[in-house]
Structures are given as structure tokens and as C-alpha cells.
Structure 1
């Protein structure tokens, strides 16, 4: 996936770019609205992440310019503005999604994946392990039809494990995926989050095993090979 990232905060822009590159995405970075006016029309981007508070041309003006000239790429707006009127104005101007600063990178990445699925016409992609169901479009985890409430990072970790259910997810991959632009996510933090999820999911028929020296495996309780499961994190 090729992403146009327009953000004037250099540190934040670099942090977002690195997170996208870890996903295997190609990222083109711009730092002001004037540059973005033409870029969103000329290159074949799969999606754009557009800050509203840009120098030279405001992000809202850039978005309206793109839409007025027929640009159909999915656009996610970033802003420090948290007023309802600003969110409505951005969506009415043609934005596909909206994220308010500060935010967690795993949520931004997940929202971009959802935008791409919608653009591709895959509106109801779901992951399943045992009785757990994760709706990737709506970012909703359920068990027997009841919603399982998790924090954004808990949900991001759950998605990583569900996507590779039955296989080992290396601990360093989890660290990279869950690190945000403002703070690193340590291996100790991974262990804390795995412990929390292990307690929650144990009651829901799903286990998370530790493979010492490698990482973690999620699978349905009672799956073959559960005997002798790894120790707690």
C-alpha cells in the first residue's frame, strides 16, 4: 500500500512513517499544504493521512481541493481539534475517517487498513479464534455475540495474535507493532498485556501460550497440543 502522509510536525511525521513502513507500506512525506495540493492528484496513492493544521494551506482546504478535482483516494484526517463541529466539517468536506491527537499508532494503522478494505469492497472482514470474533472493519471484539471491551493496545495485540492463530508471534514483532511515536513499548509491557489478555480470554475459551525465547501463540482452548503449554509471561 502506498500512503501520502502530510504532517508538519517532523518528529510525529517520522514516527508515523516508521510505523507504516513496518507494515510494509510505502510512505511519501510532505510537510505543508501547498505541496499536498498537487501531490494528492498526481500520484496513485491508496490512502492519505492529512493533518488539518498545516502551514501555507490548511488541511481542510487541501481536502476540498482534492475532492473538487475528482480525487477519490481514502483520506484520514489528523487534528488536535476535538470539537464536534470540526469533525463534522471534515467529514462533510470528503474525509473518510478522523483521528484526534494524541493517538496510538496501532489505532491509526488499523484505521488505514479499514479504509483500504472499504475501498476494495471488503466490508466485513472477520477474524475468529474459538468463540472470539474480531470485526476488523468496526474494530469490535465479541464472544457469543457479546462485546468484549478492550483498550486500544489490548485490541491491537489481540488482532496480532488472532491473525497468526496457531503460530508463534515473536515478541520483538509485538514490541515494534505496539510502539507509539511518543513512547516505546517494551518487552516488559508486552508481558503485562499478555497477562491481562490471558486472564480475560481464559474464561472465553481461548488460550495464549508462551514459547520461551520466541513469543506467543493464541489458539482455542482444547486445541491439539494444549497440554504442556508454555508458562505465563
Structure 2
């Protein structure tokens, strides 16, 4: 296997496997290894870095559902890196669940590290992560194509075009917030979920940064004649209800 600086995310409970992965993949093959032991940490790494492949042990008990849900969330958000699920369970049903959640491969423990190396190389060489993975800026996975929200068209270069002909340059965080709202048209977006999606799984949910970004976004849209409150309605302190209705122009405020 050729030397590489590809990034491997390893979610594993066994210390021995962490040590073995570091010895083989990091020191011998030259991969950059990100070893974690919790779903929260795995989501944090995947949210901050361009991971090339994830190896996820499905563990036991409630952790099985949590880790399957994590894989499912990655696929729902069109995260491009391949996922290899592993497990010491000896029944085939878990393999089916892993593939249904979106895993690309499944390896039953105990596995030979030579075989695992070949499987990792195969997943990376397929080029799925190169074609589907999107660049990140400030921790935000940038959109592959332009998308629309509340009448504005947001482009991959962070430019927003409004119906009145004006255009503004947004920050990566602002685009990340609008992407999440656009993905959940007609649904409820929970505050904590929005913070984790934009700032990472380990972000402080008590921070006021989100409110500050939303304040600026409301002003930008208002300046273009669009009232964002018609599209994202606060629901107590839980989150925001995203409208599925067509854009309605709002009257401009007259500054005195």
C-alpha cells in the first residue's frame, strides 16, 4: 500500500484496536488517524475536518442505535466519506441495519488488519469521497450547487442574490445556517441541532453566537425587502418552524 496523508476517523471502544490502528495506519502507511470513543467526538471530527473514511464499531446496547443514527445522519446530510462498520456481534441482522443506515462496508470482529487495510484502501480508491466530498470553510461544508431560501439564491462562493437585484457576500456560518433551514422546509429545526450542525457537535449550546448571526441575517434580508420572520418562526425557546410556503416580499423599513 502506498504512503498516504488521507484522514481516517476511528470510532472504537477497544484501546487495543486504537493502538493497533495507530501503529499500522498512522506510523506505517502514513494516514492521519483521528481516534475517538464517543458519537459526540466522532461528529465533532467529521464536522471540522475533511475525513476520507470512517471506521465505526457499532458497540453494544444503546450505543448500537446511537452509532447507527450517526451514520444515518451523515447520509441524510450528504456527507461524502465512506463508512466501514464493524461489530463483534455474530448475527447478520446488524449488518443489514448498518447497510440500511448507509454504511458502505461491514466487517465482523475479530478482523485481520491486513484485510481492514485493503478495505479502507478500496473505499478510498473508489473516489467516492473525492467526487462527493465538498470543501469546508470555517468548519462549514459548502454547498455543491446554489440553493434557495426565502427568495434568496445562495451560491457555493457564499454570494447571495435577492429578488430585488441586490447581492451580498455571506460568511460561511451564515450560509451554514441558511442551508439547515433550507433542508428542513416545513419542519421544526431545534436550536441545539442547528448549533451542532453549524458550530460542531461539541459546541456550547448556551452561546449567544447563533442569535447574533440570525440578527445580522434578518437585517440583510430586510434590506432586500424580505422579512425572515415569515419563513422562520420562533417556537418558544425550542427552535424555529421553517415555512414551506413560497416567498413573500415584505415592506422595507424606513430608517429615520
Q: Normalising by structure 2, what TM-score?
A: 0.45
Rg: which structure is higher?
2
Normalising by structure 1, we get a TM-score of 0.49
